[in-house]
Structure 1
Amino acid sequence: MSAEGASSSQDKPELPSGFTWFRMLAANYTGMITDEEREIFNNVAKARYDASQCKSCESYRNFNLKWSPIINFMKDNIEKLGGEVDPRNIECVKCTETVAGGFNPDHGIMICQNWVQSKTHVEDTIAHELIHMYDELKFNVDWFNLKHHACSEVRASNLSGECRMMNQIVRYRQFKFVRAHQECVRRRAILSVTGNPNCKDKEEAARVVDQVWDSCFNDTRPFDEIYP
């Protein structure tokens, strides 16, 4: 669904000139810097780091929109339903919550630039959120209905590729091989539903995910089968 605590715009404070920044950098490392200069230095360093994250995120997004097979497949199917997928509704933002991205029916997809780790991570994140977008258009999802939300989360984690074996080993440090894909899908769906404002706790989220599991895990639309 959507993730709160994200800024939808990138702050761009005025940066010092190259010489001034070099002087402040040297002063900071030697300790010969005033408190006022240190505050400016820290703010500018943070702004530059945020801008660098945003640039990398947008580069990964643009690459995947052009070259990713799964994203282009989802893009085609969303457009058949009257939707639109382009950089204007897939935005890189800084998030305060530990999430890779989110989907809002009114605003589109956000990628959390400070949490995504690689080009492949951005691909999985966009694919996950595009499945939510597809479900919104195809099934008119009520995101505050826990069963609706749970079903779309099961489908998104199942079909996006984020629960493929290599991701579980490298990204999630999960080394179980028997029913690993199913357990990953269930775990991630429960985590997402727990964040729904209408969900009381993790136990309720687990019950709802189990209730919709069979029908939603086996519903691979618009794919013929699970994306490898």
Structure 2
Amino acid sequence: MKKLLLLLFLAAGLCAGAVSPRVGVSILGDSYSTFQGYMVPDTNLVWYYSKPKLERTDVTEVGQTWWQQLIRQRGWRLVTNNSYSGATICNRGYEGKDYKDRSFLTRAKALGSPDIILIFGGTNDSWAGVEVGEYETPEGKKPDYYTLRPALDRMLAIMKDYYPGTEIYFIVNSELRPEVTESILTLCGRHGVKTIRLTDIDKMAGHPTVKGMTSIAEQVSAAID
């Protein structure tokens, strides 16, 4: 009996000392989530460079980005950061150009196998003035993925199916066109994707400063808690 108890205590000790796997997080984003040398694929355009452009940002190192701060503070591990500067959710971009090659819809399946996905988009759809489109596609017509609502609806549906069991959050930037914010909140609600609405983000040239990055990290972390 004593030997059995001793074995049980030893087994319990080994279990207690075992290291749990860290939570893996992937990011689907735009310029706000970029940093040179950390994107997958590395051909994605970036806004934040390893050799900083101080005339447009005070962010000079990757540890200052909102996602690095968040991951380090929470003890997570980065699986994939597929962020692309200037990318829209839909397939339409600036000056009416075709952005199908870089849209969030196109990149939605390229995030690895994470436990948590953080989507941070809609800013360029707002800035580029893309059409929001309709929530429902009329019978007999194909969804117009060159407008926001059909593209976002399809993207969220794909992600819910493609990443079962994964927690998905959509970070909603401050100062978006009202119809863009409304579209994100409505469609995330339909698909059961949690939203995190940002407020009071310090920006330079429309992009988060170091102070703004810290604020984003804090607000996202608090919302996930």
User: What's the TM-score, normalizing by structure 1?
Assistant: 0.29
Structure number with the bigger relative contact order (C-alpha 8 A, sep ≥ 6) is 2
- Between Structure 1 and Structure 2, which shows a larger proportion of strand residues? 2
User: What's the TM-score, normalizing by structure 2?
Assistant: 0.29
